[in-house]
């Protein structure tokens, strides 16, 4: 698979999906904030949609082309997800600080550009606090909202002696990856930043019939840094020449910890892959005290894995990994916050500067799949004394019927250009009759349903299916041949009944 994901580019991506398949909701701010002095209160909130539907989440599927002669067609599956927490795959990005101001217009087009203010604009100081437990130092700082001040203040907070370990639940999620766009949605990728998925060109969507691809997301939060929003809503002094109509957004909360985004290629189903990864986590955590079962080991040994990890042990900020050994080292090492593993920026929350509501976005994850549920199937012929029967399956009464073999192929579901072939049975005549039409003499014929689907006229690749009838035996027979070996028995040639595949 050759490093399916190289996650080291400067990229901001959405992380936590809060709900799917719903219409976009208006962002609403904290009702405790009066907003009286907020200079942006009369501007528009940035559009929260990154979809093609202008803010409407979508779900459903549509067939995009006709079913071909093999019984297959392409289905477009539409899906969307709404996100309210963003993740970064480069913790050193220059917008990664509490109070970071981002241009509202750039939010709408997905470029996420810092809002550059005029020289006479003075940002008000912000106060933020961290959720670290057991610190012997300050956990709250008031700073000028810029990258350098934030980094210095965080370094001061993190250099204090911290007693005990921070709660850091290790959670992971395994989801199907059926297209590049679905991978982007499952991660929540902001597609406009960098070339985040340039290396996913090796993701082979044509191999989905024999291989399964899964996205493994791991998230372990140590603590967060959160802004105190003033009750009057006035985080900013009004720029002297701010002429925009869309309110900016700002980073109000940052999660620290470690995370991983890994793409797995496997021939096993999702249940077996999930259980094998879960079992591996348990065994790796206890070291030499346990071992994987034969089944779990087989699954792990036969998967291909690559991706990126953020916030590992020591000074690792973000690095690419490939293979199970590197993945194992990541799980074992750096799992708890300590002097050598303080965590990195793994997620952040945006709020709009209009009413301080959480900024949300919708991302599409459409994917195409080949649907071969309408397949060509064998039509089998069975014979009993003066009685012939066609079926796409097998019969139950082998004492009565004798199997003759496959006579042609037809469709088990209707495809473009085909018609239903109806089957009728005569109890008195012990005869089955197959026709594109309908029979009205229900005193003699009883309708049994649709036997299969075939063509009313010849199409490329199809052959005529001829109808032969025995007057003496009151027996219909269907064949690709217009001449049968016993013309005295098959005395009534009735021509072409329909067209099917040989």
How much is the pLDDT for 165? Answer: 67
User: In the predicted model, is pLDDT for residue 205 greater than 70?
Assistant: no
* Residue 356 pLDDT > 50: yes
Mean of pLDDT values over 112-131: 84
Average confidence score pLDDT of the chain: 79
- Helix pair angle (270-285, 294-301), 10° resolution: 110
Alpha-carbon distance of 24 to 54, in angstroms, equals 9
Residues 458-466: what's their mean pLDDT? 93
Average pLDDT over residues 137-147: 89
Torsion angle, alpha carbons of 326, 331, 333, 338, to 10: 140
Contact criterion met (CB below 8 Å) for 153 and 146: no
Query: Does residue 196 have a pLDDT over 70?
Result: no
Comparison of pLDDT for 305 and 319, the residue scoring more: 305
pLDDT value, residue 71 = 63
d(CA 445, CA 435): 12
Q: Identify the top-confidence range among 148-157, 278-287, 411-420.
A: 148-157
Predicted local distance difference test score (pLDDT) of residue 32: 62
Give the mean model confidence (pLDDT) for residues 73-89: 77
Residue-level pLDDT at 309: 78
What's the DSSP call for residue 25?
A: P
Separation CA 249–CA 105 (nearest Å)? 10
CA distance 14 to 29: 20
CA dist 272 and 298 (Å) reads: 10
Domain extents for the chain?
A: 12-267+302-371, 376-500
pLDDT, position 287: 61
Q: Per-residue pLDDT for 6 more than 50?
A: no
Instruction: Specify the pLDDT at position 431.
Output: 96
Tell me the average pLDDT across 314-325: 66
Instruction: Give the domain 12-267+302-371 fold.
Output: HIV-1 Reverse Transcriptase; Chain A, domain 3 (3.90.840)
Q: What is the mean pLDDT of residues 245-267?
A: 88
Query: Which one is predicted more confidently, 23 or 38?
Result: 38
pLDDT at 227 over 90: yes
**Rg of the chain, C-alpha, whole Å:** 33
Closest listed residue to residue 265, CA positions, set 273, 256, 255, 257: 273
Residue 46: other Cβ atoms inside 10 A: 25
Most confident residue range from 18-32, 58-72, 439-453, 478-492: 478-492
Residue 142 CA to residue 107 CA, distance in Å, equals: 27
For the chain, how many helices (H) and strands (E)? 6, 23
Instruction: Report d(CA 113, CA 104) in Å as an integer.
Output: 9
Percent of the chain surpassing pLDDT 90? 30
The answer, yes or no, to whether residue 106 has pLDDT greater than 50, is yes
Determine the straight-line distance between the first and last CA of the chain, rounded to whole angstroms. 39
**More confident position, 403 or 28:** 403
Residue with tokens 């199970």: 324
In 3D, which of 403, 419, 400 has the Cα closest to residue 411? 419
Inter-CA distances, 454 with 219, 458, 479, Å: 53, 10, 14
Which of 42-56, 64-78, 263-277 has the weakest average pLDDT? Answer: 42-56
Range from 47-56, 82-91, 414-423, 450-459 that averages highest in pLDDT = 450-459
- CA torsion sign, 138 to 144 to 147 to 149? negative
Q: Which stretch of DSSP H or E encloses residue 412?
A: none
**Would you say residue 288 has pLDDT above 60?**
no
Q: What is the DSSP letter of 289?
A: G
Given a contact cutoff of 8 angstroms between Cβ atoms, the answer to whether 12 and 190 are in contact is: yes
Give yes or no for residue 77 having a pLDDT over 50. yes
Q: Which tens digits make up the pLDDT trace of 50-66?
A: 444 444 445 566 655 66
pLDDT (average), residues 435-446: 85
pTM exceeds 0.85, yes or no: no
Structure tokens at 416: 């473009």
How many CB atoms within 10 Å of residue 307? 24
């Amino acid at each position: 698979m050759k490093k399916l994901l190289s996650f080291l580019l400067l990229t901001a991506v959405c992380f936590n999906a809060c709900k799917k398949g719903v219409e976009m909701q208006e962002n609403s701010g904290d009702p405790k904030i009066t907003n009286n002095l907020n200079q942006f209160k009369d501007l528009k909130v940035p559009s929260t949609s990154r979809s093609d539907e202008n803010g409407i989440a979508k779900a459903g599927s549509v067939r995009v082309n006709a079913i071909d002669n093999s019984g297959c067609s392409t289905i477009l599956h539409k899906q969307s997800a709404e996100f309210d927490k963003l993740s970064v795959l480069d913790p050193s990005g220059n917008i990664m600080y509490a109070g970071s101001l981002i241009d509202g217009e750039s939010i709408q087009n997905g470029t996420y550009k810092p809002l550059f203010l005029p020289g006479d604009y003075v940002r008000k100081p912000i106060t933020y606090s961290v959720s670290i437990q057991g610190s012997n130092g300050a956990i709250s700082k008031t700073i000028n909202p810029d990258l350098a001040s934030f980094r210095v203040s965080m370094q001061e907070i993190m250099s204090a002696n911290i007693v005990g370990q921070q709660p850091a639940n290790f959670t992971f999620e395994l989801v199907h990856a059926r297209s590049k766009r679905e991978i982007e949605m499952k991660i929540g990728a902001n597609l406009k930043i960098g070339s985040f998925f340039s290396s996913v060109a090796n993701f082979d969507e044509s191999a989905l019939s024999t291989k399964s691809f899964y996205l493994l997301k791991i998230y372990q939060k140590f603590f967060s840094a959160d802004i105190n929003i003033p009750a009057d809503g006035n985080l900013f002094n009004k720029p002297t020449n701010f002429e925009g109509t869309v309110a900016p957004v700002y980073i109000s909360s940052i999660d620290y910890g470690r995370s991983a985004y890994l793409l797995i290629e496997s021939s096993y189903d999702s249940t077996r892959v999930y259980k094998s990864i879960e079992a591996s986590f348990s065994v790796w955590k206890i070291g030499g005290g346990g071992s994987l079962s034969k089944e779990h080991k087989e699954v792990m040994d036969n998967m291909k894995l690559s991706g990126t990890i953020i916030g590992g042990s020591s000074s690792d900020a973000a690095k690419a990994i490939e293979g199970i050994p590197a993945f194992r080292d990541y799980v074992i090492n750096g799992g708890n916050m300590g002097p050598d593993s303080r965590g990195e920026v793994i997620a952040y929350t945006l709020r709009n500067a209009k009413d301080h509501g959480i900024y949300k976005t919708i991302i599409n994850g459409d994917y195409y799949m080949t649907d071969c549920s309408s397949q060509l199937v064998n039509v089998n012929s069975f014979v009993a004394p003066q009685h012939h029967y066609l079926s796409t399956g097998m019969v139950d009464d082998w004492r009565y019927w004798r199997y003759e073999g496959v006579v042609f192929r037809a469709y088990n579901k209707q495809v473009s250009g085909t018609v239903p072939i109806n089957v009728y049975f005569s109890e008195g005549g012990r005869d089955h009759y197959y026709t594109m039409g309908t029979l009205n003499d229900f005193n003699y014929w009883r309708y049994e349903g649709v036997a299969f689907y075939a063509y009313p006229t010849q199409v490329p690749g199809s052959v005529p299916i001829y109808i032969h009838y025995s007057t003496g035996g009151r027996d219909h027979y269907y064949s690709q041949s217009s001449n049968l070996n016993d013309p005295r028995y098959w005395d009534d040639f009735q021509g072409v009944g329909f067209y099917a595949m040989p």
